[in-house]
Chain A
């Protein structure tokens, strides 16, 4: 059984069919790339999976469980985490607290514990703090732990978004253009980092990316979207030679 599955998923915004008849399935441990020209519906796929925009038709399943109709926070608690194309950190919070905020569903104490500062509160706060610091260490952000998230340089903010997503203990990680705005050296580092965390945390990754270097390097399988429809699937090598893909990117008659 596939870990994450989209069955014939469509999403309409009024008359606009942002996504139509998407079939997608991710097996445990895969790293899959979702590519396509601007406006192809890639981010819509993420929004449909995470429940931000529920599908108009079709079903999204995680481990065989239908996610349709669940609120985004429930879907996250079930094991899907994501990052955002236009970074959405909690800017006024410290880097450490950004990560700890994402741990709330498993904080393990109630409001009364918090107000009375019980022993359980103290213990869990220490544990969460240690876990968050370890995650930041892993993402090379440990020395910025006490800075405001909004004050980080761009590349660090992207990595913090990944750290924050990991803090939710996901099974599936959705990365929306993780390398946007990074220079080639940073992109190389990021490839290693994503590969590393996917292995260490046993993650299944679906990523949207325009930097073909990263996509071809990292992904075992690619899915190409154009105008809300899947136009090709296959290994990076197959996709590079696929005439429909070239046409979608470059236009008719070029090839």
Chain B
């Protein structure tokens, strides 16, 4: 491992140990533990959309559909093949793969075009998936259709969620900081210019779309095995807006912004549950909309505004405050 990777790796390992120990000791109870898991699952799916919309600039309104696709595929496998860790791993992989392949099939004809057709197509796709899930019991009774799919083994643990979230973020980071990632960003910035600079724009739009949707599928598989119950309404197209908002709020083109906002957003919704009390629960959506408006007025570029947060930066800022730093870049 290279030297500059040591510090972040140590920080991630420490975070994992602290969280795992806190849960072991019961400081983080079952309820809040599930919220942490959900926050990390949301992070995985939001990082996927961040690649698609934040980096490659492709507007997708069907992210929840790919999330649902992954959830149902993975749940179907563990329900029918048994809930061992091995089948769980394969089920997660299958969920991600199916979401990615479907994204490829949808993306190939549409991403050749040079406009926001993807938004319209994915919106339609989201509705198709919802209708299909509502009627999925006709395909196999296990899927449950409109009554929902019950009895999914609870296999999602903090360990799975944490390390898969780390893996997802690592993949996204490595992609973004490569020539392939630069090509994606170039497409977002100016598609005509990217084309003229020798970049096969369709290829990179498809790459980002397929990888992003596969991440949504992975997150879906984890979600299915967290609550052991799936319902089509959890994946309707309004849910796609939630992820879209997280990505926009975090700042387009910022991975750390997406991660921080995903986690913050899940905790905000749960925190409001406590603050508002049971009888005002529905007011959460009003508060949430107000926060959105406030952020968009105060920081229209999003939380991070295309910049990345790094340990390096934090340390350097502290050093600079001490007046000892003359950082080059």
Residues of A within 8 A of B (CB): 50, 52, 71-73, 76-77, 81-82, 84, 88-93, 97, 100-105, 107, 109, 111, 114-117, 121, 124-125, 128, 146, 164-165, 167-168
* A90 with B198, Cβ < 8 A, contacts A104-B182, A114-B175, A114-B180 known: no
Nearest to A100 among chain B residues (CB) is B182
* A168 with B253, Cβ < 8 A, contacts A101-B185, A111-B180, A114-B181 known: no
* A114 with B196, Cβ < 8 A, contacts A90-B189, A93-B189 known: no
A89 near B193: Cβ-Cβ < 8 Å: yes
Q: A221: shortest Cβ distance to chain B, in Å?
A: 25
* A101 with B196, Cβ < 8 A, contacts A92-B253, A114-B178, A115-B175 known: no
Contact of A76 among B181, B198, B207 (CB under 8 A): B198
B197 near A101: Cβ-Cβ < 8 Å: yes
* A146 with B329, Cβ < 8 A, contacts A90-B189, A121-B178 known: yes
Question: Which chain A positions have C-beta within 8 A of B185?
Answer: 90, 92-93, 97, 101
Give how many B residues have a beta carbon under 8 Å from the other chain's beta carbons: 27
User: Which of A76, A111, A128, A167 neighbours the largest number of chain B CB atoms within 10 Å of its CB?
Assistant: A111
- Binary interface encoding of chain B residues 179-206 relative to chain A, with 1 for a CB under 8 A from any of its CBs, else 0: 1111101100110111111111100000
Question: Which chain B positions have C-beta within 8 A of A165?
Answer: 197
* A82 with B196, Cβ < 8 A, contacts A92-B306, A101-B185, A104-B182 known: yes
Nearest to B195 among chain A residues (CB) is A72
Question: Which chain A positions have C-beta within 8 A of B182?
Answer: 93, 97, 100-101, 104
| Distance, CA A136 to CA B77, complexed state (A) | 54
Cross-chain pairs A/B with CB under 8 angstroms, 15 sampled: A71-B200, A76-B197, A81-B197, A89-B193, A90-B189, A91-B190, A92-B306, A93-B186, A100-B179, A101-B197, A101-B199, A102-B198, A109-B179, A115-B178, A146-B329
Question: Which chain A positions have C-beta within 8 A of B199?
Answer: 73, 101, 104-105
* A84 with B193, Cβ < 8 A, contacts A90-B186, A104-B183 known: yes
| Distance, CA A114 to CA B194, complexed state (A) | 20
| Distance, CA A137 to CA B198, complexed state (A) | 23
Residue B234 lies at the interface, judged by CB distance under 8 Å to chain A: no
Residues of B within 8 A of A (CB): 171, 174-175, 178-183, 185-186, 189-190, 192-201, 207, 253, 306, 329
Question: Which chain B positions have C-beta within 8 A of A50?
Answer: 196
Q: B149: shortest Cβ distance to chain A, in Å?
A: 33
B181 near A77: Cβ-Cβ < 8 Å: no
* 3 closest A-B pairs by CB: A114-B178, A90-B189, A107-B179
Q: A201: shortest Cβ distance to chain B, in Å?
A: 16
Question: Which chain B positions have C-beta within 8 A of A164?
Answer: 197
Question: Which chain A positions have C-beta within 8 A of B194?
Answer: 90, 101
Question: Which chain A positions have C-beta within 8 A of B197?
Answer: 73, 76, 81, 101-102, 104, 164-165, 167-168
Nearest to A76 among chain B residues (CB) is B198
| Distance, CA A100 to CA B199, complexed state (A) | 12
Q: B304: shortest Cβ distance to chain A, in Å?
A: 13
Q: B76: shortest Cβ distance to chain A, in Å?
A: 28
A73 near B198: Cβ-Cβ < 8 Å: yes
